[in-house]
Structure 1
Amino acid sequence: MKLRALTPILLVLMAPLVGCNDDDKKNTSTSGGSGAWAVGEDATMVRLNPEGDVWYYPLEVEGDLRAIACKGEATGVAVGDDGVVLRTDDSGETWKTIDVGTRAPLRAVILSGTTPAYIAGDGIVLRSDDDGHSFRAVPDAEADFTSVTTTAKGTYAWLTTASGQIWQLDGEVLKPVFTTSEGPLSGIAVTPDGESMVAVGAGGLVVRSDDGGAHWSSLPTPTRRDLHAVRISRTADLVVAVGAAGVVLRLDDNLGDSAQELLEPGLALRALHLAIDGQGQAVGDHGVVLRSHDAGVAWEALDLGLEEALFGLDDLHGEPHL
């Protein structure tokens, strides 16, 4: 893992975590009900608990896992190449495959606070009305979708595309609501009430809506790096995004805007999770894992000894998301 130490961001390279070798790999049946989960290249799945232990999961699937979404302290859904969808309802002790009727690459998944759930991928959007136990294809999904978000109730969903569009899904009706000519969009997030949302993409692009997605505007940012993932606080006064060169972009109504690059230019952060208490993680290329205790102001690096890129991240959590 190659890291760049930049002030004022605190970056501490920690000792290697206690891990599982080939002889003692285990599931999470003894690991408790909290911690960060990451998925990535070559069906990689790892879990970190708050004490700093790490578990590696030997999954019986092939290809890359692209995203993971969790709910409460027991349920998680991971998606990836070749239409793979995996689900756990026992904090990862067992995983089952869900047949969703496609072989398309699946790139994003979100679970709401009620029963709707959504999966997005290349030329396909899937919707669930039974809390992610089964999914069906949404009509007219004629784009390569890169990310998806939804409200706490799950009534609406919004998706980004590789062609720079934002689409809204209302029930079975899927339609584009915004298009940019500045490049691909790769991440989107919304407040629980659906009033404010933000999407990120190529060249430091950040677009925002504060009227439920009816109108969008570009925001000036202090970075030109490609951005891959984003979170917005429930009060809409903080946006945190990550991307190329390990950039961490913070648009903060209280502390001001900032952008710090934590990795070498050839590496990137690909996914981000932040909880309401400020605890969070970011993961990316070459097995990079960063951890924050203050909503992304300061970061510390965890050396898991991974070589595989990590593309997706979430938390089996009791606390709400940021």
Structure 2
Amino acid sequence: FFDATQGVAVGEQGLILRTTDGGTGWQGVTSGVKDGLRAVSFSGVNGISAGDSQDILYSTDSGSSWQIGQSGFFGPPLLGAHMLSSTVAFVGGQNSIFQALLGASTDGCATWNEDDFHAFLFGNSEGGGTDLFFFDQNTGLMSGAVFDGRGAIARTTDAGVSWSTLFFDQAIQGLNFPQPTSGFAVGAGGRISHSTDGGITWTDQASGTSANLNDVSFASDALRGIAVGDSGTILWTANGGEPGPTPTPTPTPSATPTVTPISTPRPTPTPRVRPTPPPRPTTLSRLLH
């Protein structure tokens, strides 16, 4: 999608679909090719799509029509495409001798020559590019799958003449930078990584899945995003993929128990028994006669 309502999707056998109502309805658009299309990108009304047989298509009218920049080449597919401006665009993939491949255009994708493509290794390792993202005409990133099973993200600051590479334990399949410094990468085994320095360093995030993730896209706030992968896996986040703060429990004040005085009954005193005095002897005052 390149605005709130307009978007383009590409797929097998040259399929191109276009929506103008936010995805409610889709209309087919003639592509002019029969090969699978693997990537699509827009900058304003200008777009690029790339795919199998190293096909490259371009549009100047928001995807309503497409022209062929190149088609029918022998070699692996182009898996990444990025329209940087109305005239500058990039494609990425792999060449026929197992090297990552970058192609660049400065005429709106109308012409592509051999000199427009540069091959490179991920470090000293063979592999292929899977996606790419450029910040300007010189500085960009390409993700990849290395032939020994690892993943890679390579970074250039000289339009692809030289590259520095970071390696990961599994293939990296998708890249997205909604802001110049904040970006995300996804890959095999449920990997999601986040960069806050333009792709120089990366920190893993918990995805909650082991499914291979193939693509990622974020809104411009770098908070709301979606990642998709194998077996219909769809993940979304509203906080940039960061775990929310752990709430600190508020202690419940303990009530001071009210002591109710217990009245202890006073013992009833036992009445003292007054001793009965012994009988006094009778005193006769007179004698009886």
- Scaled by the length of structure 1, the TM-score of the pair is 0.63
| Aligned counterpart, 1:199 | 142
Q: Tell me the alpha carbon deviations over residues 111-169 of structure 1, each in whole angstroms, 9 at most, x when there is no partner.
A: 112x3211111121101122211111113673421110121x33211111133211112
CA distance in 2, matches of 1:268, 1:284: 6
| Aligned counterpart, 2:241 | 296
RMSD: 2.4
**Matching of residue 173 in structure 1 with residue 116 in structure 2:** no
Structure 1 residues 218, 256: closer, same or farther in 2, change over 3 A? closer
CA distance in 2, matches of 1:264, 1:111: 30
Q: Tell me the SS of whatever aligns to 1:127.
A: strand
Q: Tell me the alpha carbon deviations over residues 162-215 of structure 1, each in whole angstroms, 9 at most, x when there is no partner.
A: 332111122233221342253111111122x4453111011221111234x243
Q: Tell me the alpha carbon deviations over residues 263-313 of structure 1, each in whole angstroms, 9 at most, x when there is no partner.
A: 665x200110112212111111122111122333349xxxxxxxxxxxxxx
CA distance in 2, matches of 1:261, 1:247: 8
| Aligned counterpart, 2:68 | 137
Give yes or no for contact 1:205–1:218 (8 Å, CA) kept in 2: no
Q: Tell me the alpha carbon deviations over residues 75-108 of structure 1, each in whole angstroms, 9 at most, x when there is no partner.
A: 1111111111111112223221111111111111
Q: Relative to total residues, which structure has the larger strand share, 1 or 2? A: 1
Give yes or no for contact 1:245–1:261 (8 Å, CA) kept in 2: no
Q: Tell me the SS of whatever aligns to 1:77.
A: strand
Structure 1 gaps of 5+ residues are: 1-69, 300-322
Give yes or no for contact 1:125–1:141 (8 Å, CA) kept in 2: no
Task: Using CA pairs under 8 Å that are at least 6 residues apart, name the structure with larger relative contact order, 1 or 2.
Answer: 1
| Aligned counterpart, 1:22 | none
Match of 1:150 among 63, 75, 83: 83
Give yes or no for contact 1:189–1:197 (8 Å, CA) kept in 2: yes
Letter in 1 for 2:175: V
Structure 1 residues 224, 215: closer, same or farther in 2, change over 3 A? same
Match of 2:164 among 205, 210, 218: 218
Match of 2:130 among 182, 186, 189: 186
Choose 1 or 2 for highest CA Rg. Answer: 2
Give yes or no for contact 1:240–1:296 (8 Å, CA) kept in 2: no
CA distance in 1, matches of 2:126, 2:183: 20
State the 4+ residue runs in structure 1 displaced beyond 4 angstroms.
none
| Aligned counterpart, 1:76 | 7
Paired residues for 1:17-28 under 5 Å: none
Letter in 2 for 1:189: F
Q: Tell me the SS of whatever aligns to 1:155.
A: coil
Give yes or no for contact 2:46–2:61 (8 Å, CA) kept in 1: yes
CA distance in 1, matches of 2:240, 2:66: 33
**Post-superposition shift, 1:216?**
3.4
> What is the total number of aligned residue pairs between the two structures?
223
Give yes or no for contact 2:205–2:241 (8 Å, CA) kept in 1: no
Letter in 2 for 1:149: H
CA distance in 2, matches of 1:243, 1:82: 25
CA distance in 2, matches of 1:145, 1:232: 20
More displaced 10-residue stretch of structure 1: 123-132 or 154-163:
154-163
CA distance in 2, matches of 1:138, 1:97: 20
Q: Tell me the SS of whatever aligns to 1:131.
A: coil
Q: Tell me the SS of whatever aligns to 2:231.
A: helix
**Matching of residue 112 in structure 1 with residue 58 in structure 2:** no
CA distance in 1, matches of 2:67, 2:194: 36
CA distance in 2, matches of 1:292, 1:264: 14
Give yes or no for contact 1:186–1:200 (8 Å, CA) kept in 2: yes
**Post-superposition shift, 1:258?**
1.8
Structure 1 residues 182, 298: closer, same or farther in 2, change over 3 A? farther
